[in-house]
Amino acid sequence: MIKRFTFSFLLFLIPFTAFVQNQNNFEIAKSLDIYTSVMRELNLNYVDAINPAELNETAIRSMLEELDPYTVFIPESQIEDFQLMTTGEYGGIGSLIQQIDGFVTITEPYEGFPAMKAGLQPGDAILEVNGIDAQGKTSSEISELLKGQPGSMVTLRLKRQGSDKPIEKELIREKIKIDNIPYSTVFDNHIGYIRLTGFTQKAAAEFKEVFTKMEESDTLQGLVIDLRGNGGGLLNEAVDITGLFVDKGELVVTTRGKTPDRTTVHRTRFAPVDKELPIAVLVNESSASASEIVAGALQDLDRAVLVGQRTFGKGLVQNVVPLSYNSQMKVTVAKYYIPSGRCIQEIDYAHKSENGGKIPDSLTSAFKTRAGRTVYDGKGIAPDVAMEPMTFSAVSGSLYAGNYIFKFANNFAREHKSIGPVETFTINDTIYNQFTQFVESQGFTFTTESERMINKLREIAKEEAYLDAVDPELKTLEQTLLDYKRNDIIKHRDEISELLKIEIAQRYYYQKGKIIAALEDDPELKKAFEILLDMDQYQAILHPSVNK
């Protein structure tokens, strides 16, 4: 009886699906006809000349915005930028840039690449690129001018603090490769550490090479995989990295599209490198996509302890579809499900008009890891050991966002030829006093949330005709806050010093120095050490029922 019912259902499903497809085909033909008519009439009748290409791109982007933020149109002019996301490679000078004080500015030359070789420094404001005036241009526009065929020349005219006249630099563009692993080390406690920032091509091979060298050179007590801030990349690289630590043939992720024939199962392809070494994975709210596949699979298989904050919650898969005239479209084709069977997608874009598409807690479902631990779908991946995210005071945030820390580090680097090893460099009283004098000379001010609330209360009181009655008290409160604010740079010295150390270290040791400085007082890394060096605690997290 069950078989007959199933057969009848399938017979019904096939013609129904065909009906829906035919209906959609008619609607598509109708819509294209209307679109063509609109474009034709605009070209014939609109009062000014139109740019059909620009209008067409605007129409496409507006249409795709109705779906999800990951389904995007890629015109021919942006193909190189898209390839950078998958290969980690591009032709250019090798530097981060940012809009500062009205100019696109060099903020971080990459070690070993043309910007560094030519002596470009953080803080150099770009005045011209190959004779083209850079003032008023966006960072994206300047980026396009800086990129080009490896081996070609680019001439920059720069304004450098401390130099009376503009300086010129000629750089030979090179193939720039963004490292998937910008830093790795083995700490004195024999815990290995790998910072993974991308999942571009060969990420798994690079990871395996780094980890293998660690095991060959040291008796590891554990491994920390740092996925914080890693926005993802290629799915197959995530599968292969997971496969380094679990059995060959292990299910890592299943992708499911619109129809059953669009289901794909991804299993590990090679023998593992190490199945026993204790692992901690650091995650935060910016760990997304491929990062969540690695973290989620290792959690579901009880192979690692996750430490940090809940992850981003991107459980969608995109494919690239070639279009006419060398354009492309990146389109969401499936949702993915990690070994426990859960999908960690947080936003339901089909219902984003309802509460922003966020799935309420009441609609999340419980799943089980291999050892029987309860985990949930939706809303990203909850870490096994949750920690509060690092927050900064209003004064620290304002100093950082206003580029005061960046500018002071530039001045410091000009005045000090070296700082010694990053591990021993500290922000002493002399350096901190110099910094406070610097920000004072720059006229630094900031507004606290308390002050914003007072101003809002004053506006409301004015509207309700109570201002005369409450204004004296509000002014007294403002003065009290001002007195406290004057001491904020001293009160929050520890966190400001940490930001200063990270920024200054980058001037001398580039990205590696920045990471080393940031790890020194990293609470999540310290927690990972604690867990990995205590096997009772490690096993109690992964196998709680066994340890009751």
Give the Cα separation of 303 and 242 in Å (integer): 10
For the record, the structure tokens of 395 come out as 């004064």
pLDDT tens-place values along the chain, 548 residues long: 444 444 444 434 445 445 445 667 888 889 999 999 999 999 999 999 999 999 999 999 999 999 999 999 988 888 877 777 778 888 999 999 999 999 999 999 999 999 999 999 999 999 999 999 999 999 999 999 999 999 999 999 999 988 889 999 999 999 999 899 999 999 999 999 999 999 999 999 999 999 999 999 999 999 999 999 999 999 999 999 999 999 999 999 999 998 888 999 999 999 999 999 999 999 999 999 999 999 999 999 999 999 999 999 999 999 999 999 889 999 999 999 999 999 999 999 988 877 777 877 777 899 999 999 999 998 899 999 999 998 899 999 999 999 999 999 999 999 999 999 999 999 999 999 999 999 999 988 888 888 889 999 999 989 999 889 988 888 888 888 877 777 899 999 999 999 999 999 999 999 999 999 999 999 999 999 999 999 999 999 999 875 54
Give the number of other Cβ atoms within 10 Å of residue 370's Cβ: 13
For the record, the structure tokens of 449 come out as 């949330």
DSSP code for 329: E
Give the Cα separation of 414 and 91 in Å (integer): 29
SS3 (DSSP) at 52: helix
In this structure, which topology does domain 183-386 adopt according to CATH? Answer: 2-enoyl-CoA Hydratase; Chain A, domain 1 (3.90.226)
Give the Cα separation of 261 and 258 in Å (integer): 8
Task: Sort 176 into a burial class: Cβ within 10 Å, 0-12 / 13-18 / 19+.
Answer: buried
**Which residues are the active-site residues?**
289, 300, 314
Give the number of other Cβ atoms within 10 Å of residue 458's Cβ: 17
Alpha-helical segments (H) within 46-169:
52-65, 79-87, 114-117, 139-146
Give the Cα separation of 540 and 505 in Å (integer): 38
Find the radius of gyration of the CA atoms of the chain.
28
Comparing CA positions, the residue from 224, 243, 225, 241 lying closest to residue 233 is: 241
CATH 3.40.50.720 for the 89-177 domain, yes or no: no
Please enumerate in sequence order all residues whose Cβ is within 8 A of that of 306, keeping only pairs 6 or more positions apart, or say none: 280, 281, 283, 295, 298, 299, 381, 383, 384, 385
| pTM metric for this prediction | 0.88
Comparing CA positions, the residue from 280, 266, 289 lying closest to residue 225 is: 280
Residue listed under structure tokens 């990972």:
528
Residue listed under structure tokens 């050991």:
385
Residue listed under structure tokens 């001018």:
145
Give the Cα separation of 467 and 474 in Å (integer): 9
Q: Are 375 and 408 in contact (CB under 8 A)?
A: no
**Phi/psi of residue 110, nearest 5 degrees:** -80, 135
Give the Cα separation of 182 and 91 in Å (integer): 19
Query: Which segments of 270-408 are extended strands (E)?
Result: 279-283, 305-308, 316-322, 328-337, 366-368, 374-376, 385-386
Q: Are 127 and 159 in contact (CB under 8 A)?
A: yes
Q: Are 279 and 531 in contact (CB under 8 A)?
A: no
Domain map (residue ranges) of the chain? 26-64, 89-177, 183-386, 394-528
